[in-house]
Each structure stands twice: as C-alpha cells, then as structure tokens.
Amino acid sequence: MKELINWLADPIRSFPIFTFLFFLMIKYYKVVGTKKFAYWGLAVTLPIVAWFCADPNFIKIILWPDNIPINIIIVLLTFLTWLSLYKCAENDKRIEAGECPIEALPENKEKVWCWPNLVYTELFAIIATTIFLVVWAIIFKAPLEEPANVTWAPNPAKAPWYFLGLQEMLVYFDPWMAGVILPGIIVVGLIAIPYIDTNPKGNGYYTFTERKLAVTSFLFGWLVLWIYLIIVGTFLRGPNWTFYGPFEYWDFHKVVAEYNVNLSEYIWIKILNVPMPKNIIVREIFGIIATVAYMVVLPLASLKLKLCKDLYEKSGAIRYYIFIFLFIIMMSLPIKMVLRWLINLKYIIALPEWELNL
C-alpha cells in the first residue's frame, strides 16, 4: 500500500488526480458543502492520517520545523474551503426557492457594526495571533543553521514555504518567466479582478450558482496550481530536487535519469531527422508558431464557444480579452508541467542567444 501511494504521489499522476477531485468537488458542491459530508470526511481522514504518521519517513518530513506552517495551512484551507462551499450551498438552495440569502436576513447574527464590533474582533484576533506566535516560538526551536558557507549549500536548498510554489515553477520555466513575469502577471491579475468581473451578483453573500466562472477559475488557480505546487515543493521534493514519495526515505544518492529537450530538437532531430538549422528564427519557427497560435489565435477562436460568446457580450471586448489573456497565461503552467512529465519538453521556444526561453 505504501509503495502504491508513493507511486501515485508522483506529480505525473497526483496532479491529474488532484485536478479531477477539484472539479468533482465543484460539480457536487452541494454534497460536499454539507455537515454530513464533513463529519464522514473527518471520520475517514483521521485514521488515514494516523496511519500515515506511523511511518518514520513521513512523520520526519511533516514535523520538520520549516514544514509546520504548511501543515497548519492544509488544515485551515480544508476547513475554510468546506465552510465556503457549505455557505454557498445553503444560499443557493434559498435562492432557488425564491428566498433571500442568509446574509440578507434581518435576524442574521453575522451582521455587526464596523465600530466597535468588527474593530474589537480584529483587535482580539491580533492579540490571539501574537500569543500563538510567541508560544510557538518557545515550543518549536527556530531551524537556524551555522553561518553561510560559500563552499557548501544545503541539499535540498529550499526557499521559504511561501516561495516554494515559485521555486517549483522554476523546474518548468526559465527563471525570468517563473521569477518575474508570471508572478507579476498574477499580482496584476488579482488587482484587475474587480474591474474585469463586474457581475453584481454575489456581492455581500456566498453563492456559487450566480458566480460559477469566477469561483471555479479562482479556486483552480489558488488550490490546484498554487497550493499544490507548495505541497509538492515541501513534502515531495528531496535532495537534488528529486521527487520522493511520502513514505520514501530521502536518499541523497538517488539519481533519476532525465534528458529534457526543446521543441525544436524534437521536431528537427527526432521527427524530421535532420540537423538543427543555423538560423535561430528558422530553428525555433515551430515554437514561435505554437506560441502565437496559443496567445493570439486561441482567444479569437474561443468566441465560437457559447460560454465565451456570452461572456464577451456581457463584459465587452476589452474586459473579455484581458480576462482570456490572464486565463491562458494561468493555463500555461499546467500545460507546461504536463509536457515536461510526458515528453520531457524543456522549452517551447529556446533562444538563449536573446535570453528568451518559453
């Protein structure tokens, strides 16, 4: 069983499973967002977690001081995601019955004045968090090591947990893409959300039926693409940044033979069986065509879909093309990940002469 779990934990299998479970959760959110499902899920999960913790390799990884925040995040994200789906399911049932959302009820106890109720609550939350951090700092020793040595680096060398997603992205993209361009687009995209999504429904209350596209796309980027990458970088990446299963011993001598090739090498050498052209534009022409088709042709072709056409009519041309641009940039990450796992594809466009690799 442990070997099977280690085999399933490999991203080439765990990522499709995680993605499938995500869309299953979205489709049946009214089932997931029930107290009965939460109780049964807790009853099934606790014995499984206890069995996992009985393994010495697994318990060593999750109790590593740097990994404690990730454990807390996973528990909190699981609960808060269920809670939001629970409130969405309750409100959608009321809306379908012709009633108002729970948040709009006059007797709703969650509606309080900003002053003093909300401010006092935030003050107590700050005090409680400070006490928690002080106690945590006393109980768990800080994972400090000896002073930096230019002749030696830790293996694996990992960034802080909140940057592990970016470090995992470096496996699939060039550093300037994974470290500058994509994070910058993410920040700009988050800022642009209120200006792109002008749907007034769902403002001030939980709902999924009235905000399917917005909720699904945001949760997919947040849970499947970002949190998943942090989990992989934390628990499944060991020495030499090699994949290890949750029950696998981190052997520093483990070597995985991989030979990553560019798209141009695939086409010219492996498929056409000819030498690589000396002209760099001719050499990368297939990658350039694929990138232009993905970034330019695909947004235009998407208007043939009824969902995209309706969104175009509601939001207008400018908002729609900004949204679809951000969406296809987001989807480039899972596409590049799958291509790396399946065919060892390194770059679609490889122009080191211009320091341009995609």
Mean pLDDT by 10 residues, the chain (358 residues): 91 92 94 93 93 92 84 92 94 89 77 84 94 86 77 81 85 86 86 81 86 88 90 88 89 77 89 88 90 89 85 85 88 89 88 84
Each as own residue / partner, the long-range contacts of residues 46-55 (CB below 8 Å, 24 or more positions apart, any chain) are 52/246, 55/2, 55/246, 55/247
325 shares a domain with 280: yes
Give the pLDDT score at 344.
86
Yes or no: say if 22 and 15 are a contact pair by the CB < 8 Å rule.
no
Q: What Cα–Cα distance (Å) separates residue 30 from each residue in 36, 89, 301?
A: 11, 5, 33
Do residues 235 and 340 both lie within one domain? Answer: no
Domain-embedded: residue 342 = yes
Considering the domain architecture, whether residues 221 and 318 belong to the same structural domain is answered as no
Pair (277, 351) in one structural domain: yes
Q: Which two tokens stand for residue 119?
A: 């401010």
pLDDT at 314: 83
Please choose, from the candidates 308, 338, 337, 339, the residue with its C-alpha nearest in 3D space to the C-alpha of residue 323: 308
Give the whole-angstrom CA distance, residue 72 versus residue 67.
Answer: 9
The verdict on residue 164 lying in a domain is no
Are residues 9 and 121 located together in one domain of the fold? yes
Domain assignment present for residue 305? The answer is yes
Q: 325 and 220 in one domain?
A: no
Q: Do 326 and 222 share a structural domain?
A: no
Which pLDDT belongs to residue 175? 86
Domain match, 269 and 236 both? no
Give tens-digit pLDDT for 239-287. 888 889 999 988 888 777 677 888 898 899 888 888 888 888 989 899 9
Q: Is residue 298 part of a domain?
A: yes
Residue 150 within a domain = no
Residue 141, phi-psi category: left (phi > 0), alpha (psi -120 to 50), beta (remainder)? beta
The reply to whether 228 and 99 lie within a common domain is yes
Q: What pLDDT is stored for residue 18 in this prediction?
A: 93
pLDDT at 40: 94
Handedness of CA 166, 81, 238, 7 (dihedral sign): negative
pLDDT in tens, 28-41: 999 999 999 999 99
Residue 95: inside a domain, yes or no? yes
Indicate whether 160 belongs to any domain: no
Same domain, 353 and 315: yes
Report the pLDDT value the prediction gives residue 182, as an integer from 0 to 100.
86
Find out whether 88 and 29 touch, Cβ atoms under 8 Å: yes
Number of domains composing the chain: 2
Residue 261 DSSP label: B
Residue 230 lies in a domain: yes
Q: ∠ CA(241), CA(243), CA(245), 5° rounding?
A: 140
Q: Give the residue numbers spanning the domain of 49.
A: 2-105+113-142+205-241
Whether 138 and 272 map to the same domain: the answer is no
Return the amino acid letter for 25: M
Which of 274, 243, 321 lies closest to 14 in space, CA to CA? 243
Q: Which residue type, as a one-letter code, is found at position 305?
A: L
Examine the domain organization and report whether 216 and 307 are in the same domain: no
